[in-house]
Structure 1
């Protein structure tokens, strides 16, 4: 049996959820009327306070973007976003949801 410590990245070796399974609780919350964009709200507030002053699009790196929930929302709000994640399964879900955005597999 392969152990997690045999893999160069133990986290990936122990991952059991797919991108769709990861998204499911957020979709359920959104359908019940709960705001699932708290992180995006915070980033936008920080950008309003500390972001660009020249009127250009804010550039945002979503490190550990997973399936892209936050990066996609920030792009919808006018940010130039790049999503980065180590997990290609999660990135595949992000790419499917928003192929126009930039998604990178990196650590």
Structure 2
């Protein structure tokens, strides 16, 4: 699946979140004072995380969850508290280190398997649910659907992810970002349309076993994101000697 555009953007994200923005990101994901603009982003992310969790079973005991793009680990901690076996992965070693440090005080007797690397790594294994909150928003629609296809091959339940909806404001901000010197730019958020995304998902053979379920937009000042649920239509087919075929 690793297209040139996916690999290039992943490299940009690694540099940005591991070096340029790590201090700001660390403050954003705590109760520390932040600017009014970042406060709206914090509130939006909190609302989106609550929405994402409302789509997962209340009791996650025995369920294996992938937090794809775990950042500082807030979503992983909540899933582990619900009883899930959580694998949390991010491209930024610094953010993963921060997530480990923070979770140690919050988990009690629970455990999270934190890893640094590519969220699409097949060696991560199979999962009941995959959550990719705000970790696909920097990719093109085609790369998003290819990523979902990779997740789908290893997911028995649902895929829950967020995208940046194409609105006039986001399109303008995306264009304006190109005016800044390259060294000062954050990796651009790529706005996409929901109808276009649905069309691409419908045309992806590896996602034939999934159907688009609930969607929910969160708009909080400078935070604008759209959650989408892909639910498996039926359990994976059982092959011969007990193996599963997606």
TM-score by length of 1: 0.63
Between 96-105 and 9-18, report the one with greater CA deviation.
9-18
RMSD (Å) for aligned C-alpha atoms: 3.2
Aligned 8 A contact 1:62 1:84 in 2: yes
- Tell me the SS of whatever aligns to 2:30: helix
- In structure 1, the residue matched to 2:29 is 26
Aligned 8 A contact 1:37 1:70 in 2: no
Aligned 8 A contact 1:26 1:36 in 2: no
- The number of equivalent residue pairs is 92
Where does structure 1 differ by over 4 angstroms across 4 or more consecutive aligned residues? 34-37
Q: Describe the superposition over 1:44-67 as per-residue Cα deviations: whole angstroms up to 9, x where unpaired.
A: 33223xx99xx8432211000011
Larger radius of gyration: 2
Structure 1 residue ranges without an equivalent (≥5) = 1-7
- Tell me the SS of whatever aligns to 2:83: coil
Between 35-44 and 69-78, report the one with greater CA deviation.
35-44
- In structure 2, the residue matched to 1:61 is 66
TM-score by length of 2: 0.31
Between 88-97 and 8-17, report the one with greater CA deviation.
8-17
Q: Describe the superposition over 1:14-33 as per-residue Cα deviations: whole angstroms up to 9, x where unpaired.
A: 44122x5313223228xxxx
- In structure 2, the residue matched to 1:45 is 54
Q: How does 1:1-107 map to 2 (within 5 A)?
A: 9-14=11-16, 15-18=19-22, 21-28=24-31, 37-48=46-57, 56-99=61-104, 100-107=111-118
Q: Give me the whole-angstrom Cα distance separating, in 2, the residues matched to 1:92 and 1:76.
A: 20
Q: CA 1:77–1:39 in 2, change beyond 3 Å: closer, same or farther?
A: farther
- Structure whose residues are more often helix by fraction: 1
Q: Give me the whole-angstrom Cα distance separating, in 2, the residues matched to 1:74 and 1:37.
A: 15
- Structure whose residues are more often strand by fraction: 2
Aligned 8 A contact 1:37 1:73 in 2: no
